[in-house]
Every structure is written in structure tokens, then in C-alpha cells.
Structure 1
Amino acid sequence: MFVKIVVGYIPTPEGVAALDAAISLAQSEGSHLTVVNTGRDGNYADKSFAMAEDIDAIDLQLANADIPHEVRQPTSGRSAAEEILGAATEIDADLVVIGLRRRSPVGKLVTGSTAQQVLLDAPCAVLTVKAR
């Protein structure tokens, strides 16, 4: 049973897929959901940092679904992986949900991978989701 779920969200098809999967699990398990959205290294001007309207819509969607939740948009300067892992550790999460996108091996090597760091360092189970 997943009592506490952390989901890494960015406004992309992969981020939406991760959020949808986390919402589905939270509804079926009666879980608390923590949504983490941050820009690249906490940069709120980055395109992965969701707009206020998006965050408000997520908050409303979760409230309307009666899912206990928290939405975080840290700007500490830490990487997205560090923020997701930090939230998972802080709340003693049972599950982390992240979206995956296809990348070449060279692309992973050159730019690093949030998903890879979360998979390797998470203090709990990790569910990876691809966009449809």
C-alpha cells in the first residue's frame, strides 16, 4: 500500500503522464500526494517550471478528487532530482512517480538524467511512466 506518494511534474506529456498515474494510484490507495515541480536547478524562468495557472489547476483537480495533497515549487537552486528525492525523504514516501522520455545513450551521458538519479537514489519504490 502506498500511503505517501511523491510525483515529479513538469508541463510536458511525460510530466502529465506521471501526474495522471500518481493521481490514479492516490485515488485507489487513499494516498497523500506531493507534487514537485521545479525548473532546471531551481530556475523559475525555465520552461519546466509550471505556470501559476497550471499549478492552480493541479491543486483544484486534486482537491475536487478529495486527494490529500501538497504542491511544491521549490526555487532553491537544487536539481529536479534532488528536489524530488528530498521531498521523498522528508515525507518518508512509499513511492516516487516520474515520467520518462526517450533519450539516446550519448544524450544521457552529456546532459545527465533526472530519471536515472531518482531511480538510483530513491529511498523507496519508483514508478516510471511513459507518455502515450
Structure 2
Amino acid sequence: MSTVVLLTHPASAQAALAWAVQFATEHRHHLHVVVTGADTPGAPSYVSPRVLAELDQALVASGLAFTAHVESRDPAAKAVALTEEHQADVLVVGIRRRSVTAKFLLGSAAQRVSRDADCPVVLVKGEHLSGP
């Protein structure tokens, strides 16, 4: 059994990770964490070593079995593929507020995984919803 969480925008990543860690702990799941720098096509997708070290430290402290996957090309596709490969019970994604125009022109990882995943998808709002 496993849980997959997709961490994209910093404003929602912390809330999504907290929800996924709690769920995976309660259900004794292996946690697959997909990390990317951005969920907007054309945006920088660099993930700093500091961010990865902090993520690793937080996950080790949680006591969960986990695997981190850094994905810069297509994080939504990677998350969906992991749900299929590991027969995940749930896919967790952080969301943020965007204008209607930005949603139409750019789409989002959350939209893609909610459409493409075969398992239930949980959308978690971040504390500070902002952005284009």
C-alpha cells in the first residue's frame, strides 16, 4: 500500500505534505513524494539542494518509509505513473488560487492528476493562496 504526494508550488506544498504524511502514517503506507520546482509550463523547475535536504529531514523525522522523486519535465505524469506502478490508494496534491485566464492558458498539475489518476485524488489548499 502506498500514498503519492505531488509537491509543486511552495504555498501549497507544506499543507499537501502534512496531509499526506498524516494519511500515510495512519494507514501504514509507503510515501512517494514527487518534487518539482513549479507546476506552470515554462516556469523554472529547479529544486534547490536546501529544499531537498529539508524535505528529507522532515520525512525521516516522521518515521515513514518514503521515496523522493525529483521530476522537472512532467511532474503530473510522474505522479500518475507512480500511483499506477505502486497501486496507490490516494494521490495528494496541493492547490493554489489562479485566475481563470491562467488556468485556461497554463493548466496545472492538479487539474491533470485529478483527470488522469485512477485512484482518488485529494486536493489540499495551502495556507497562503496566491499566484497567477
When normalised by structure 1's length, the TM-score is 0.83
| Secondary structure in 2 matching 1:7 | strand
Q: 1:49 to 1:17 in 2, by over 3 A?
A: farther
8 Å CA contact retained: 1:11, 1:49: no
Instruction: Name the amino acid aligned to 1:129.
Output: V
1:105 CA displacement: 2.2
In the alignment, does 2:87 pair up with 1:92? yes
Q: 1:49 to 1:96 in 2, by over 3 A?
A: farther
Q: Distance in 1 between matches of 2:100 and 2:81?
A: 27
Instruction: Please give the residue correspondences for 1:1-132 in structure 2 after superposition, counting only pairs within 5 Å.
Output: 3-10=1-8, 12-39=10-37, 46=44, 48-75=45-72, 77=73, 79-132=74-127
Which consecutive aligned stretches of 4+ in structure 1 deviate over 6 angstroms post-superposition? none
CA distance in 1, matches of 2:29, 2:120: 15
**Once the two structures are aligned, what percentage of the paired residues are identical?**
32
Distance 2:84 2:122 in 1: 16
Question: Partner of 2:97: helix, strand, or coil?
Answer: coil
Q: Which runs of 5+ in 2 are unaligned?
A: 128-132
Q: How many residues align?
A: 125
Shift of 1:74: 2.9
Query: Deviation string for 1:67-99 (max 9, x for gaps)?
Result: 010001134x3x221121122122111110001
Whether the 8 Å CA contact 2:59–2:66 is kept in 1: the answer is yes
Alpha-carbon RMSD: 2.1
Unpaired stretches in structure 1, ≥5 consecutive residues: none
